Amino acid sequence: MTELATPRTHVVVVGGGYAGTLAANRLRQRTDIDITLVNPRPVFVERIRLHQLVADTGAATADYGTLLGAGIRLIVDSVERIEAADRRVLLASGAELTYDYLIYAIGSTGAVPLGVPGAAEFAYSVADLENAQRLRYALADRPADAPVTVVGGGLTGIETASELAERGRRVTLVCGGILGQSLSNRGRRSVAKRLRKLGVGVLESVAASQVRWDAVVLADGAVLPSAATVWTAGFAVPDLAARSGLRTDALGRLLTDETLTSIDDPRIVAAGDAAAPSGRPLRMSCQAAGPLGAQAANTVLSRLAGNPAAVLDQAFVGQCISLGRAHGTLQFARTDDTPVNAAVGGRTAASIKEAICKGTLWAIRREAAKPGSYFWLRGGTRPARLAVDEPVALP
């Protein structure tokens, strides 16, 4: 008698960032899954180090060969559309992939400031590898004492301004509001003190109204000479879900239930910055991406085992900000990600931030070597649930 082959499941992971890479590795707990990771770049991008790449103080890429477990197929391509009804994805190269499950982990990118004249034409970004490289090359062509303006007083703007100033650049940080809005008063004071020491000019409560090739015009009419303007105010999500006819929130994140399953299709599970569980997304961050990737993989594994998928359970501990290579600020937070008025600044915080950056890749590599080993803090809470439709039953 001929023995029938055991049917295999094909899971396509769209996006090879922190969430997607960890999810792909975690799926290897089962040997009957074929895993394909689709990513537009042949290297893994450490987004939390892109400000270092810009300032030429460190690299921001890693080889997928050191991060992905054996048997995971990497396709360097972009997904143009997800055809959910047919369970296939259409790639930019013209190729197609069919899937049994799809993990949607496309991440986020910098928001294009359409309402600010000249910003799209003349401002640089540090939100992705290509734009960070472009800024690095531009700065290399500018004199060392040429003024640089960073627009955006959030963590990305703070880290970028600090990194450049520590390298001797003349930097002005235009916050558009208060400095470090996600920080406590103590955390904000710690950051402001270091910025002053680095010589960064901080402009709070004033916004950029226009970007020129050599200047930034402020809302009050003042003109700041700027040989290079870096725009860090806000993030956006690629519109793949909307293009594919899947429902999203206002920013374009895929709407899911509490198991991270699309409210439109039970075969699609989301993770990372592009996921909006119950319309209440977690803060876009590396700290959230890894656990979301693990939980998305767990949802797929539970479905394959015929078990109910667990609901999202994730806690935060704080925010760690690098302020150059020699200084940092560690802002503590409640498990729901709201800051408490406690922060640590100095070399200790810088060492902790560097350990976090290294530890993030270490965790992905460990998951590749030992699938299922990744763990995360649980017990966090989020704002009240928004009303969204429940997902349809699994066929």
- Please provide the DSSP assignment of 342-357 as one string: EEEEEHHHHHHHHHHH
Per residue of the chain (395 residues), what is the pLDDT tens digit? 455 567 899 999 999 999 999 999 999 999 999 999 999 999 999 999 999 999 999 999 999 999 999 999 999 999 999 999 999 999 999 999 999 999 999 999 988 788 899 999 999 999 999 999 999 999 999 999 999 999 999 999 999 999 999 999 999 999 999 999 999 999 999 999 999 999 999 999 999 999 999 999 999 999 999 999 999 998 899 999 999 999 999 999 999 999 999 999 999 999 999 999 999 999 999 999 999 999 999 999 999 999 999 999 999 999 999 999 999 999 999 999 999 999 999 999 999 999 999 999 999 999 999 999 999 999 988 766 544 444 444 44
Counts for the chain of helices (H) and strands (E), in that order:
9, 25
Whether residue 108 contacts residue 274, with contact meaning beta carbons closer than 8 Å, is answered with: yes
Query: Three-state SS for 28?
Result: helix
Q: 121-151, pLDDT tens digit by residue? A: 999 999 999 999 999 999 999 999 999 999 9
Whether residue 371 contacts residue 69, with contact meaning beta carbons closer than 8 Å, is answered with: yes
Tokens of 115: 């309402």
Q: How many CB atoms lie within 10 A of CB 168?
A: 11
Q: Where do the domains of the chain lie, and which CATH numbers do they carry?
A: 9-110+235-312 (3.50.50.60), 112-232+316-375 (3.50.50.60)
What Rg value do the Cα atoms of the chain yield, rounded? Answer: 22
Tokens of 306: 């015929």
Q: How many CB atoms lie within 10 A of CB 305?
A: 10
Which residues have a Cβ under 8 Å from the Cβ of 141 and sit 6 or more positions away?
A: none
**Residue 65 DSSP class:** G
Start-to-end C-alpha separation, the chain: 31
